[in-house]
Structure 1
Amino acid sequence: MHEPTRTSTTPATRYGDPILYPTAIQQPVMLPAELPPGVEMVTLPGGYRTLAYTLPGAPAAPAPAAAQPVPTWAKTTALLAPTVGGGIAAAGFGISYAAPGLIAMTEALWAAIALIAAGTLAPLLLRTARGSAGRGAAPVQHVTQNISASGMFGRANGTINHR
């Protein structure tokens, strides 16, 4: 700590010490209101009182915040999370059991597509193969069919004409 010193013929005294010698120079006394910020009057271990710079005290800990209520959206989300997770788990479980059936249905669908394609393309291929044999185009035949029946439960008769 800084101890002010004076050049004097009398023994040195510190600021605030009681006056022991009447010939000592009296230091001016500062009022507490006149002290600059960070300066305080302190008492040293030897009993002397002096001005000293002090460290600012630690700020008081903030009061604990009051408990906030849980928002409604958070409650709703917390309640929906297990439901949605369970639904996803059930869907995955169901798909794992359905996978062999889905594979079989896919194979059947490809077989049906192949059958339809073969049924559509077969007449075209036969027509081109018949026409490329060198015999020329085959004559177009008209087939007519006449069917008649008498009465509601009568026997039906029919004729087929090739022209």
Structure 2
Amino acid sequence: MHSENPHEITPATRYGDPYYRPATARQPVILPAEIPPGVDWVTLPSGVRTLAYTQPMPPPPIPVSQPIPAWAKTTALLAPTVGGGIAAAGIGLSYAAPGLIAMSHALWSAAALIVAAVTAVPVLVRTARRSTGSRGGGSGAATHITQNITATGLFGRANGTINHH
């Protein structure tokens, strides 16, 4: 049985001897053309460079142009339109500002007129009734009407009487 150990064997170090140098083994020289595919030089964490099997690097992905989605085209086309509409509205409001201010003053005046009318009309009607009653246009005495309504039960029939005094 043939036993071949592929590992490098170094003799044990003599820690107490400051002049001790371990024997160096001569490695065979391999030319770069002789290195088989999938094998490459690697540096180990200890700093030693050696040959090792490596995983082949996958090729970089080739960028494929994707079609632009319809929603992106629509949004891109609508953005200048919306911006132009907002700009036009701003310009229109700047030209209309004096007219808008005048209309707001007119609306406040109309609101004040309506409030004055709602307040003044009942006062004028009440004053007109008093003046016609004191000039002899009526009997002088006010007519009083009383009404009595009675009902029995929650859904009973209501009966009422009206009295003129």
- TM-score bucket (shorter structure): 0.3 to 0.5
TM-score by length of 1: 0.46
Pick 1 or 2: higher relative contact order, CA cutoff 8 A, min separation 6: 1
Highest CA radius of gyration, 1 or 2?
1
TM-score by length of 2: 0.46
